Structure 1
Amino acid sequence: MSPALGQAFTIPGYTTMSPPDYDVGCDAAVHAADGVVGYPAFWLHFLSGPLGAHRESEAAFGVPAADYDAMCAVLNDPKRWPAVSVRLDREVWLRIVYRNLEDEAGLDFVEDRPGRPAKIAPRSRATGSRPR
């Protein structure tokens, strides 16, 4: 298995704080992650990682440890924020962004509408330590 992210893009109005001081807002570049949702390891990570579900879900997916570790490397890379896109309407998207900041990791659920700044749901923080 070799999951890979797609091209980088920006979501108008979705910003992050830029290093090294994290006090300057800038447009966040995210990377298309739609191609990885077909892997069982993605769903294991999604359900047991940032959302904090119990590790018992691992047995339900039957994912080899090497596949899970490969997916974790892709989804948890602090230099590339994966974004899964779900079409809500003709031009309206829900972007599920893996916010991979070292001390502020989690998921952002971002509504992306043409001509409007991004609307972000309250931030989801990663619970506990990073998955395996």
Structure 2
Amino acid sequence: MGHGGLFGVTQIASSGLAAERMRMEVAANNIANANSTRTADGTPYRRQQVVFSAAMKQAMGGNTSHQGLTGVVIEGVEDDLSEMPRLHSPGHPDADAEGYVTYPNVKLPHEMVDMMTAARAYEANLKSLQIFRSMTEQSLSLLKGS
């Protein structure tokens, strides 16, 4: 079965579960701050995004010609550096001298799509764990029968 042995499947799926949970949390935080024009440092909220990388592990004791996937690693959460929208609203407490307010670069439809794709990926990882468990239980019951 490869690098993680029999239970490598669980390591891969659990890393995917953790990564997608983090992505859902960040999307929820973005949605919650979609209208926050002032944060603790006095600037508008900036959308955040999770950065993933695939974790690769060498197989067969140092033979670099064979590598196997061992899951997903959360590299971190970074600010989205896209442009922040400015709207003319002179009566707003955060308006600048020209009457413009800088709003967060959060787009609710984008966040909802991120949330839905993260939820679907979470479900897929969970389903793979359930199928692995079922297969393991069936294998053990076959071994008991012989």
- Class of the TM-score when normalised by the shorter of the 2 chains: under 0.3
By percentage of residues, which structure has more strand? Answer: 1
Q: Which structure exhibits the higher relative contact order, with contacts defined as CA atoms closer than 8 Å and separated by 6 or more residues?
A: 2
TM-score, normalised by the number of residues in structure 2: 0.21
TM-score, normalised by the number of residues in structure 1: 0.23
By percentage of residues, which structure has more helix? Answer: 2
- Determine which structure has more spread, i.e. the larger CA radius of gyration: 2
